[in-house]
Every structure is written in structure tokens, then in C-alpha cells.
Amino acid sequence: MLDTTSGRPASRHALYRAETMSTTTVTPNSVAERLGVSHPAVRLGHLRRWLVSGLIAVAVVTTALYLWNRSQAAEAIQYVTQPVRRGDLRVTVTATGNLAPTNQVQVGSELSGIVKSVNVDYDQRVKVGQVLAQLDTTKLEAQIKQVEAGLSAARARVQQAEATEEEARTALARAEQLAAMELVTQADLDSARAAHKRALADRASAAATVNQSGATLHANRTDLAKMTIRSPINGVVLARAVERGQTVAASFQAPVLFTLAEDLTKMELDVDVDEADVGQVKPGQEATFTVDAYPDRAFTARVAAVRLSSQQSEGVVTYKTILYVDNTDLLLRPGMTATAELVVRHAKDVVLVPNAALRFVPSGAAEAPTSTSGGGLMGRLLPRPPRSAPASTEPVSAEGRRQRIWVLRDGQPVDMTITVGETDGRATEVTGGDIEPGIAVIVEAGTTRPES
């Protein structure tokens, strides 16, 4: 483009200014924008856009709530029921322990010595008086001979003392006769009397020595008999802790050489009953137990005694309970670990309700209003806290405690109040309430979706 005045090309700045001045039109909107003030028409456009966006958001939320409510309505609650039945209830207490013979004897030796012979072995049956082992008696036999010789010497001294006493007695009688005739002095008479008394004392001392030597001989002969270890009972050898040639030292206590069991056909089971259950255990109650050696067989027993003394292990207090066991077939062995179930109560022909029915509570009955979730739109969107069944406030009586159970009527759960007693862990005895065997009680609830 040429400059009309000079005929030369115009500059770019002049050309841009000319085009701007020729095309720019002054309008109210442009003035408002330059002044920073929105025009009413512009504000109305913005308002319309926000209104449309809000309506779309509300429509989306409403649609989501509708679909969610529809899916919830489509879920059908199904209840699992079990019938109330009539049967026997066995309440048991579980305890563990070990088997042992009813009479177990440890045979030892009161004397020291070398074992000369061992006449029995493990599991061998023995009778009363049967020789189990023999200790070397050489030294003891020599001591007995020595004591016997001393006893013979003591008896000889007794005879000598008797002769001396007889001589002194005769001399005293003669002195007394002569003194009566005044043929001896009083001093001679006194000497005769003193000699007689000394003779009597010597005779008594000699007799005592004989008795002492006899007692020593008896003790040595008793020890000689004890060097032969004999069985004190009829039974079986459970353990043998001695071999031939072994030295037995009985300095402070008698060493145990053999362990005998009197009768393995009758055994006892020593179990530890927890302090929480010991109040239910009484002598005469029946029990069953199992051992690892025969896991598929249950053995019978009977409670014989419950010890008064307690024992504590790792903070757990238990009481020793003795059970009598019939082991006629000799399958059970001493020391076996057994798990016993003591029948503390056996009720026959009672009404029983499943324990699951006592734990079941419908969701509507357990639900409680909270301040977090209200009934509006935000209350539906916000998550609810977990619901829990209310704590039972039913009174507990001597006959039992009151519980609520639920039955189905017209497809809806209806509660019933009953009184329950003992339980075996699976079923509970019903002691009161308007419930009969055969009534189906709810034990579980679930939801299912219909197939589309």
C-alpha cells in the first residue's frame, strides 16, 4: 500500500493502525468488557449454564438412587430354619490326663551292696514273696558269725556270774549265822553282804550283754533277709533299674530297683479339671475317653474322687480328678494320654432348640437410628455404621434364663420368649415357654437376587 502524500510504501505500524480504525466498532459490550463490568445478558448466559449443569447432576443422582433402590427391592431375604426337637441332652466337661495303675509299688533296697543276681525282667508277672534280685551277702554273713560268737561268750559270762552270785550268797548266809553267835565281827558281816550284791550286779550285767548280743544278731539276720529283694504284691514288672554286678548305695534314701503294678485289668485315669467346671463334677458320674493308640474307640470310666487340693500351671488352676477304668482286655497301658468327657448332666426326653436360633437376631430388630445417617438424600448416600444386636437384659433365675427366638409367620420373622437351661454346645434345653417340638425356628438369614 502506498502513502498517498509521498507515494512511498506505508509502514507496518501505520498500516495496522489504519486497519484497526477502519474495522473497530464501538459497542456497549466492548465498553463493558474494557471497564470490567459484565453485561446483564452475559450474566444470564452463565446462570443458564450453571442451571443446566445442576439439573443434569440431580438427574444423575436420582437415577442412581432409583437403580440402587430397585436392586435392593429385587433382593429377596431367605431364612434358614431348623425344627425344635425332643431328645436327650448330655452336658459334658472335657479334661485331659494320664492312665496309671490303681496300685503301683516301687521296690527298693534298704541296704547297700553289689547285685549278685536279677531274677525278673520287664513285663514279667510276679507273685508275693517271689525273689526279684539278690545282693551279695558275704560281708553280712561274716558279721553275723562274729555276733554269734559274742553272744556265746556273753552266755558263758552269765553262767560265771551265776556261780559267783551263788558263792557270795552262801558266804553271806554263813557270816550271818556266825554273827548271831558273835563269832565274827560286824565288819566281816558287812563285807559278805557287799560281795553278794556285787555278784548279783555281775550276773545282771552278763544277762544284759546276752540280750544285747541277741538283738544285734537278730538285726543282722534281718538285714541278711533284706539282701534278697522280694515282690510285695501280685502284679507285673513295669520297670527294672538294676543289673547284675551293679553297686547299690542306700546312704540317704532307698534306691528304686523295680516298679510293679498290682493289677492292670483295673486302672485309673488322673485328669485335670478346670476350676470353672469342677463345681459340676461329682463322684459316681459317668465318663468316656479316647487315647491316641485307639482313636476310633471310646472307653468308659466313672468318676471316683475329686481332690480338694488345687494345682496351678501357667496361671491356670485345675483340680485332680480320679476316674476308675475297666481294662479287662488289657488294651490300655500306664502313662497313655487320654482326653476324657465327664457327663455332668444327662437329661432324657427334653425339648431342645438349636443354639444358632438363640444367636439369630433379624436385621430390623437389631437396627437403631443414629445421628450420622438421616432420612434425606445425604442420609441415603452416606454409609451407615455397623449394626449390632442389643445386649440381653433378660433376668437369670435358678430355673434358667430367658431368651428370644424367631419363627416365620406369613414369611416374616416373629419373636418368641422362652426359658432355657443347660446346653451341650449344639442344642439347649427349653425349660419354659410356649414352644413345642416340630416348630421351625430361624437360625440364619441371607439375601438372593432373582435371575434376569
Residue pLDDT, tens place only, 317-333:
999 999 999 999 999 99
Cell of 134: 539278690
- Contact, 264 vs 329, CB < 8 A? no
Q: In terms of C-beta density within 10 A (0-12 exposed, 13-18 middle, 19 or more buried), how is residue 175 classed?
A: buried
C-alpha cell at 335: 502313662
Sign of CA dihedral 45, 47, 52, 56: positive
- Is residue 182's pLDDT more than 80? yes
CA pair distance 350, 400, nearest whole angstrom: 14
Instruction: Classify residue 71 as exposed, middle or buried by CB count within 10 Å of its CB (0-12, 13-18, 19+).
Output: exposed
What's the pLDDT score for residue 424?
Answer: 85
In which band, very low, low, confident or very high, does the pLDDT at 386 lie, cut at 50, 70 and 90?
very low
115, 245 in Cβ contact below 8 A? yes
Q: Which residues of 252-262 are buried (b: 16+ CB within 10 A; e: fewer)?
A: eeebebbbbbb
Closest CA to 443 of 428, 421, 424: 428
Question: With helix as H, strand as E and coil as C, how does 74-101 read?
Answer: HCEEEEEEEECEEEEEEEEEEEEEEEEE
Q: Which residue has the higher pLDDT, 43 or 27?
A: 43
For position 24, what pLDDT does the model report? 45
Selection from 415, 432, 430, 445 nearest residue 354 by Cα: 430
Judged on CB neighbours under 10 Å (0-12, 13-18, 19+), 433 is middle
Mean pLDDT to the nearest integer, 367-375: 39
pLDDT band at 398 (very low <50, low <70, confident <90, very high): very low
- Whether residue 119 contacts residue 134, with contact meaning beta carbons closer than 8 Å, is answered with yes
Number of H helices and number of E strands within the chain?
8, 19
Mean model confidence pLDDT for the chain: 82
∠ CA 177-179-181 to the nearest 5 degrees? 75
Q: Which residue has the higher pLDDT, 204 or 17?
A: 204
- Whether the per-residue pLDDT at 97 is higher than 90: the answer is yes
Section 224-228 average pLDDT = 93
Q: Which amino acid is at 4?
A: T
The fraction of the chain above a pLDDT of 70, given in percent, is 78
| Residue in this structure with the C-alpha cell 436327650, named with its chain if needed | 88
Residue 411: pLDDT band (50, 70, 90) is confident
Least confident range of 248-262, 395-409, 437-451: 395-409
Q: Are 248 and 110 in contact (CB under 8 A)?
A: no
Mean pLDDT computed over 240-247: 92
Spatial contact of 231 and 129, defined as CB atoms under 8 Å apart: yes
The mean pLDDT value for 296-319 works out to: 94
**How far is residue 108 from each of residues 94, 112, 154, 239, 329, measured CA to CA in Å?**
38, 11, 36, 12, 30
420 within 8 A of 392, measured Cβ to Cβ: no
Place 68 in a pLDDT band, splitting at 50, 70 and 90.
low
Asked if 405 and 362 count as a contact pair (C-beta separation under 8 A), the reply is no
Residue pLDDT, tens place only, 353-370: 999 989 998 876 644 343
Indicate the pLDDT class of residue 295, thresholds 50, 70 and 90. very high
pLDDT at 75 over 80: no
Q: How many CA atoms lie within 13 A of 242 on its CB side?
A: 30
Distances in Å between the alpha carbon of 41 and those of 27, 30, 55, 423?
14, 13, 21, 81
Q: Give the pLDDT of residue 394.
A: 43
Instruction: Please tell me the predicted confidence (pLDDT) of residue 382.
Output: 42
Residue 176 has phi, psi (to 5 degrees) of -65, -40
What's the pLDDT at 41? 59
**113 exposed, middle or buried (CB, 10 Å; 0-12, 13-18, 19+)?**
buried
CA 50 to chain centre: 73
Confidence (pTM):
0.60
How far is residue 90's CA from residue 329's CA, in Å, rounded to a whole number?
Answer: 27
Integer angstrom CA distances of residue 238 from 107, 124, 260, 334: 11, 8, 5, 9
Q: Which amino acid is at 89?
A: L
